[in-house]
Structure formats: structure tokens, C-alpha cells
Amino acid sequence: MITRSVGPNRRRNDMIWNMIAWVVLIMLALPAFWIIITAFRPNIEINTFPPVWIPRRLTLEAYANMFGLNPDVQQRVAVEAYLRNSLLASGISTIIAVSLGTLAGYAFARFRFRFHTTLFLGIMLSRAVPGVALSLPLFLLFNRVGLTNNVLGLALVYVAVNIPFTAWLMDGFFRQIPTELTESAYIDGCGHWSAFWRIELPLSLPGLATAAIFAFLAAWNEFQIVSVLARNNAAKTFPPGLFAFTEQFTVDWRGMAAMSVIMMVPAVIFVILVQRNLVSGLTFGAVKG
């Protein structure tokens, strides 16, 4: 932080900066609060005009309808299927993507070898392929081998899509561990593999957690590929599931808001967990060369 001499002018300026910052950031976060409040309001308050800005009553109706606890609602959204598929596809793909991405990131951070830059760039560029472009051939190929409408097929795609970013993050984290540590492990008789396994991997666990959360969220939020590969509830995840609330001319905004809140849970946990690691993970590795 910049230390300043504190005069009356400075103090007034600081107060103004603080106030502007608070106002701007509250405005930035306001839309999200509106969604959360909407999920817990009675429908009549949402669709009325003039609008009711401050809720008079909170209710769990939307969730009762969603999970079939309300006998008056006949048709309902297959939220259990979405939840199961989202958890399976995101969970399985995260475990595999983080394992493979960590190995690759370690190789890039620690070792000198031919085609170092080429391989790194190749892996990174695979991430630049837009999901829409990838989804078309995957649909044709998966159709032949029976992987469309299949959670495992979806997980397979997410592994490949998540490896590049994981490798990049882990490359950054491993670079922060001094090379001397590895070299002294070699002198003590460790092989490459046991040096990695016993010394560097444990040191990079915070980074690993960050990478895992990123991978999980990327899969959890993915829409383009799943919307092409999953045509029915056997593999549909939350994002395409949101469209179940839209009909030709009407949209059940409260239902959507209620499901949105469920979808946000992993992300909220993520923000609480990695607030600190996030910054160092994204920047330090990339800047230190």
C-alpha cells in the first residue's frame, strides 16, 4: 500500500473514493441480489404492476413446485436429473482433468525439453476452439459410438476442454516452488517421479484446489456442447435445463430464478474458498517468466 501523509484534504479525498467504490460495487452486485430475492417471492409480487421493489413476504413455493412437493403442480422440471447429470459430468471430468493437467503443467514448469513452447502453445490453442465449432463433429462422431445423451461422453469432452487451463494454472503454481528444492531431492536419491510425488505435489496443493474448482465450475456452467450432445434428460445438465422454464410466449421467471440459485451454490463456495489463491494463481505464474 502507498503510505501518505494525512492532511484534512487527503482525508476528505479518501472518503470520497471510498464512497464511490461502495456505490459502484453495490450496483455491480445488485442484479444478483434481485435474482436471489425473486426465487423466494410469491409469484403475485413478481408479475404485478406497478412493481413491488421491496418484498413483503418470502416463501419457498418455487422450490416446493420444483421438487414436486406441491400437489397442485402437475408438470414439473426434471431438476433431479439435471442435478445428477451436472454432478456426475463435472465431478468425473474434474478429477481426470486436474490429474492430467497437473502432470503436464509440472513438465512445463520444471523441465527443459525440445518443443517446450510448441507443445505448450498447442495445448493452449486447443482451448481457443469455440464450443459450437467443436460440438458439431463431436455430435456426428459420438452418434456413431453411442456417446450422445450420455453423461460419460459429456465428461470425456469436459476433460479435454479443461486440461489446458489446468495445465496453465499448475505451471504457474509449480514455478513458484524453487528449482533448488527439486535438485536437492535428486541429490538425496529421489528419482524424478518420487521428487514430484513426495515434495512438489504436496507443496502445490493450494494450487491444485484452485485448479480443481475452476475445472469443476467450467464443466458445471458449460452450455454450448451439452446443448448439442444431450437431447434428453439422460444427460442434460443445469444450463440447458434452464430452457425448460421457457415456453413459446411465456417464461416462468421465478422458476428460473429458483434454479439459478441452486446452480450458484458451487460458485459461492468457490468464491469463499479461493478468494486469495485466485489472484496469485492467475497472475504470478504468468508474470515471473
Partner 1 sequence: MAADSNSPLGQGAATRPVEVSRIEAGFFPYSLILPAAILILLVVGFPLLYSLYVSFTPYELLKPNSLNFTTARALRNYQKLLNDDIFWRSLLNTIVFLAVTVNVSYVISMALSQLLSRVTVGQSVLRTLLMVPMMFAPILVGMQFRWFFNANVGLVNNFLISVGLIQEQGQIAWLVDVPLGMITIIIASIWMNIPVMTIILLAGTLSLPTETFEAAEVDGASGWQKFRFITFPLLAPFSYIALTIMSLDIARAFDIVRIMTDGGPARRTEMLWTYITRLAIEDTKFGLGSAMSWITVFLSVLFTLYFFRQLVKARIVR
For residues 206, 286, 225, 62, the Cα torsion angle rounded to the nearest 10 degrees is 50
251 backbone dihedrals φ, ψ, rounded to 5°: -130, 135
- Residue length, the chain? 289
Shorter beta-carbon distance to partner 1: residue 88 or 139: 139
Nearest to 171 by CA among 123, 229, 234, 220: 123
CB 166 within 8 A of CB 105: yes
- Which one of residues 60, 136, 152, 273 is an interface residue with partner 1 (CB under 8 A)? 136
Shorter beta-carbon distance to partner 1: residue 65 or 169: 169
- Which one of residues 34, 68, 69, 80 is an interface residue with partner 1 (CB under 8 A)? 34
In the complex, what is the shortest distance from the CB of residue 9 to partner 1, in angstroms, rounded to a whole number? Answer: 13
Which residue pairs from 269-272 have beta carbons closer than 8 angstroms and sit at least 24 positions apart in sequence?
A: 270/213, 270/216, 270/217
Is the torsion defined by CA of 111, 112, 117, 123 positive or negative? negative
- Which one of residues 63, 82, 216, 220 is an interface residue with partner 1 (CB under 8 A)? 220
* Position 263 contacts partner 1 (CB under 8 A): yes
- Which one of residues 67, 152, 179, 234 is an interface residue with partner 1 (CB under 8 A)? 179
Rounded-to-integer distance, Cα 173 and Cα 150, Å = 34
* Position 42 contacts partner 1 (CB under 8 A): no
100 backbone dihedrals φ, ψ, rounded to 5°: -70, -40
Of 58-66, 74-82, 99-107, 205-213, the window that binds partner 1 (rule: CB under 8 A) is: 99-107
- Which one of residues 77, 104, 151, 244 is an interface residue with partner 1 (CB under 8 A)? 104
- Which one of residues 157, 215, 229, 258 is an interface residue with partner 1 (CB under 8 A)? 157
In the complex, what is the shortest distance from the CB of residue 112 to partner 1, in angstroms, rounded to a whole number? Answer: 4
Contact string (CB under 8 A) for partner 1, positions 240-259, x = contact = --xx-------x-x--x---
